[in-house]
Chains A and B, each alone.
Chain A
Amino acid sequence: MGIFVQTLGFGIAAGAVISLGAVGFTVQFGISNVLNITYGAFMTLAAFLGYVLLNRGLDVWVVLVAVGVVIAIASAVFNRVFLSPLRGRGAGFVNLIIGTVAAAIILQGVIVIAAGPSAVTYGQQYGKTVSGAGLVFSLAQLIIISITVALMFGLHLLLTRTKVGRAMRATSTNRTVARACGIRTERIIDLTWLLTGFLCGAAGVALAVTTVTFDFSIGSTFLIYMIAASVLGGIGQPYGAMIGGLVVGITSQLGAAYWSPAYQDVVAFCILIAMLLIRPRGLFVAAGVNRRNLSAT
């Protein structure tokens, strides 16, 4: 039982990071309708930027915001100069995904040239732990969990309570109609990419802080966790991705604890493959939990 509760704690901490990244991924998918594999590479970039800045002694909150802003701008530019024009040229779904894989390979190559292929260890540890109800969290984990909760709450307010949020949902549902209704869809799309890029950057830093030791492949592996979470929650649905992130985080930690750490990734991969084969629209769609959210189609 002790192991189970402790694993649950790890799972919640891991799930918080996954949720953070997955929400960005899924909202981005909702507005662009493209499975953006480059998202993982941007996350790697964020992890390395965060690593450099944190080692300079900057405060974790400052780093989080700074890296988030950098990745936000990079993502918006990426959409403007690459993804959107490629789609404009009539590229189909498969060519688009191949294009984003190619872009990810390029970005990852640049990162390896700049930072080297070997793993780096993030020096500053948040050694202190906080425990309660059998769960033990490191300070870092607690910070990440609270960041996730705060950002998710902010996103919720943005999507449901503001005009911009409504415009985003409208654009995501049907771009042409949204434009016909007078929504400046170009700006809304840019805004969505900025927002999701920020989430991606924040998640990258959070991932670097929690995993401590990582290398250039961190984003591409983690991408699969995020996609698994997104698919689990129904692609395009932010609340689904939040829950999906927790589910994926906890199950993969349980797999690591009770099976073997070597298979931790495999658990997440299998969740994704199984979901795609059995229920590609996600677990919660039929239940009508997320009726008010972004939808993919």
Chain B
Amino acid sequence: MTGWEYYAVVLLVDFGTFLIAAWGLNLEFGVAGVPNLAYIFLVAAGAYTYAITTLGPSSGNGGFQHYVIGAHLPYPVAILCAAAVSAVLGALVGITGLKRLRPDYQAMALLVVSITATTLVSAKTSLVNGSAGLALIPNPLHSIEPSKRGWAYVGMVFLICLLVFAVLRRFTDGPFGRLLRAMRDDEEAALAIGKNVVALRIAVQAVGGAMAGVSGALLAGFLGGWSPGAWLFIETMALLTAIIVGGIGNNWGVVLGTAIVPTLIVQGVQFLPDISSNPELIPQLGWIILGCLTIGFLFFRPAGVIPETGVRRRHRVIAEPAELAEQPADGAKNGASMSNWLIAPRGDADRRLADEREDILVVDDIHRDFGGVRAVDGATFSVQRGSITGLIGPNGAGKSTALGIVSGFVRAGRGTVRFDGADVTRAPNYRRARRGLVRTFQLSREFATLSTLENLVVAAPRARSESALGVLRGRRYWGAEEREITQRARRLLALFQMEDKAAERAGNLSGGQKRMLEVMRGVMTQPSLLLLDEPTAGLSPRLTQRLGDACLALREEGLSILLVEHELETVDRLCDTVIVMVQGKVFARGSMADLRTRKEVQEAYLVG
């Protein structure tokens, strides 16, 4: 092999291994929004695992290097071990997301994890030979004669790249990618529609970790050595730069970024004329250019060279024209039959009939303080099945906090919340949503980078494509269900008269349209009780009317609604029962007409 050939082999292996890692980090950071600055640590874990599972026992080499295990496993098994170990570590690192820290805190925590790992591994010699690192790591292709081994390695790496890509696409594109992007765009809203954000994130970090492990194993097998110097946290920055330059959230962008960043720049600077005698100039220049590229792109083109696939293109995939034609043409006009379709009865219909008289929501004596301020102070109320119940009261009466406690977004200081016959006081918010207790937010929270239709489709409960394993089984497994969900979403759009906005990026909708989307997304989860927090705030009279019509139509189908509202006209029109809250307590309860006649209510709220 000539010098140039050897150089090409090194470049290509570098490219392939870097690409696998960059794809993995892009899945975590670009698609799912997890700022995993400890990613290079997972690559390293894969490299070390490969090394200590392929090397023979440590005692066999006469004290030349110290390490644990030394299992002498076959190479494919060792690479799988590397993937498994990094996947587990990736999931463990995912625990940093449990506390739901602000993303930059999370990034920093992970950065420190990476640095701590480097320090520990360097200091503890007996584990993987400390700062000197491991050498003589067997090449998986060592049985091939040396002259052909290099190109064979390139072939193997690229084959694995293809394999990885085939799997990766199922996570980054289609319904699972949509779910991850929703989580990235707004975590709270994802929880509110019943998505288990923590589990999703851990799953993503396990998948990304496995990819890091494969990348590390291939790198260590090629280089034959691996030491802490190879995985300083700055290497994660190189991966990030490739992603930012190429296009965050776009696998092809990452390919381009990988071609530009490590290959062109880190290698390219070696060919600069040696203008000074400073041996540090060239390697440092590589990092400096990398830093400048990152900053330049953050400033002038944060979406990268090839931005994430646009809403309209993704849209063509979910809304195939053929399916649209199948839709009954008169569907939009026939409101009643349509909503029949929207709120499918959940659970056992007979049981529903049996306890028809029991209230769907029973809130007993809930309390909540915020730093000495009593927001909710012993409120007790209930919501009848199939009714629209209004919750009114002056500003600061604790209505939104009460709603937060019921939905699980605010912890109750005391008291119980019973929903559909079960105590849910301690259930996490996303689980309540799955049971059918779903809230909307006072300030609309939309998944900004998804289309209106995607915002609805992603909210469908218990979809097959929602689990990592389900999505791996491919379109044949989840395709039919996805079509059904899409049709249901379209009917819902028709009910709210927003069909023309289906393909609009949700972030571009007007304030009023976002409010409507918020309510539609709640309905899409097929709730049995929908909690609406001031849904008409900021809506034009026409949209308010439309929203009210939709609420009434949904009630006809058995949906119960608890509505926090200031617009008494709306309350008058929609609500069967009205609860008045004052200073954290329930002050009065009755029909609106009844409440109007009561003097104390007038004094407390209606007049003042």
Judge if B292 is at the interface, Cβ distance under 8 Å.
yes
Smallest CB-CB separation from B123: which chain A residue?
A262
Q: Which residues of B contact A227 (CB under 8 A)?
A: 108, 112
Chain A 244-287: CB-based contact to B (< 8 A → 1; otherwise 0):
00000000000000001011011001101100111010000000
Judge if A110 is at the interface, Cβ distance under 8 Å.
yes
* Interface contact B99-A277, CB-CB below 8 Å: yes
- Given the known interface contacts A106-B288, A116-B280, the answer about A276 and B119 at a Cβ–Cβ threshold of 8 Å is no
Partner pick for A266 among B104, B116, B244, B285, CB 8 A cutoff: B116
Chain B 210-250: CB-based contact to A (< 8 A → 1; otherwise 0):
00000000000000000000000010010011001000000
Chain A 68-106: CB-based contact to B (< 8 A → 1; otherwise 0):
000000000000001001100101111111110111011
Judge if B295 is at the interface, Cβ distance under 8 Å.
yes
Judge if B10 is at the interface, Cβ distance under 8 Å.
no
* Interface contact A112-B104, CB-CB below 8 Å: no
* Interface contact A105-B101, CB-CB below 8 Å: no
Q: Which residues of A contact B96 (CB under 8 A)?
A: 273, 276-277
Interface residues of B, count at CB 8 A: 44
Judge if B98 is at the interface, Cβ distance under 8 Å.
yes
Judge if B341 is at the interface, Cβ distance under 8 Å.
no
* Interface contact A86-B298, CB-CB below 8 Å: yes
Partner pick for A105 among B33, B237, B298, B299, CB 8 A cutoff: B237
Q: Which residues of B contact A270 (CB under 8 A)?
A: 116
Partner pick for B108 among A91, A260, A276, CB 8 A cutoff: A276
* Interface contact A94-B103, CB-CB below 8 Å: yes
Smallest CB-CB separation from B290: which chain A residue?
A105
* Interface contact B123-A35, CB-CB below 8 Å: no
Taking the closest CB of chain B, its distance from the CB of A222, in whole angstroms, is 12
* Interface contact B302-A91, CB-CB below 8 Å: yes
Q: Which residues of B contact A94 (CB under 8 A)?
A: 29, 33, 35, 103-104, 107
Q: Which residues of A contact B240 (CB under 8 A)?
A: 98
Judge if A200 is at the interface, Cβ distance under 8 Å.
no
Rounded to whole angstroms, the CA-CA distance of A276 and B291 in the bound complex is: 27
Taking the closest CB of chain A, its distance from the CB of B447, in whole angstroms, is 15
* Interface contact B119-A272, CB-CB below 8 Å: no
> How many contacts between A and B, using CB within 8 angstroms?
125
- Given the known interface contacts A102-B237, A269-B115, the answer about A96 and B290 at a Cβ–Cβ threshold of 8 Å is no
* Interface contact A93-B99, CB-CB below 8 Å: no
Judge if A1 is at the interface, Cβ distance under 8 Å.
no
* Interface contact A102-B116, CB-CB below 8 Å: no
Rounded to whole angstroms, the CA-CA distance of A278 and B280 in the bound complex is: 41
* Interface contact A109-B244, CB-CB below 8 Å: no
Smallest CB-CB separation from B287: which chain A residue?
A109
Judge if B68 is at the interface, Cβ distance under 8 Å.
no
Judge if A232 is at the interface, Cβ distance under 8 Å.
no
* Interface contact B278-A93, CB-CB below 8 Å: no
Judge if B294 is at the interface, Cβ distance under 8 Å.
yes
Q: Which residues of A contact B102 (CB under 8 A)?
A: 93
- Given the known interface contacts A94-B35, A105-B291, the answer about A277 and B284 at a Cβ–Cβ threshold of 8 Å is no
Judge if B113 is at the interface, Cβ distance under 8 Å.
yes
Smallest CB-CB separation from B96: which chain A residue?
A277
Judge if A224 is at the interface, Cβ distance under 8 Å.
yes
* Interface contact B104-A113, CB-CB below 8 Å: no
Judge if B105 is at the interface, Cβ distance under 8 Å.
yes
Judge if A123 is at the interface, Cβ distance under 8 Å.
no
Q: Which residues of A contact B284 (CB under 8 A)?
A: 109-110, 112-113
* Interface contact A276-B101, CB-CB below 8 Å: yes
Chain B 588-599: CB-based contact to A (< 8 A → 1; otherwise 0):
000000000000
* Interface contact B298-A91, CB-CB below 8 Å: yes
Rounded to whole angstroms, the CA-CA distance of A118 and B234 in the bound complex is: 18
* Interface contact A112-B280, CB-CB below 8 Å: yes
Give the contacts of B256-290 with A (CB-CB under 8 A). 278, 280-281, 284-285, 287-288, 290
Judge if B554 is at the interface, Cβ distance under 8 Å.
no
Chain B 100-128: CB-based contact to A (< 8 A → 1; otherwise 0):
01111101110111011001101100000
Q: Which residues of A contact B119 (CB under 8 A)?
A: 262-263, 265-266, 269
Taking the closest CB of chain A, its distance from the CB of B370, in whole angstroms, is 13
Give the contacts of B30-66 with A (CB-CB under 8 A). 33, 35
Q: Which residues of B contact A134 (CB under 8 A)?
A: none
* Interface contact A276-B99, CB-CB below 8 Å: yes
User: B residues bordering A, Cβ < 8 Å?
Assistant: 29, 33, 35, 95-96, 98-99, 101-105, 107-109, 111-113, 115-116, 119-120, 122-123, 234, 237, 240-241, 244, 278, 280-281, 284-285, 287-288, 290-292, 294-295, 298-299, 302
Given contacts A35-B104, A98-B244, 7 further A-B contacts (CB under 8 A): A34-B104, A86-B295, A105-B287, A227-B108, A269-B116, A277-B99, A280-B105
User: A residues bordering B, Cβ < 8 Å?
Assistant: 34-35, 37, 82, 85-86, 89, 91-99, 101-103, 105-106, 108-110, 112-113, 116-117, 224, 227, 260, 262-263, 265-266, 269-270, 272-273, 276-278, 280
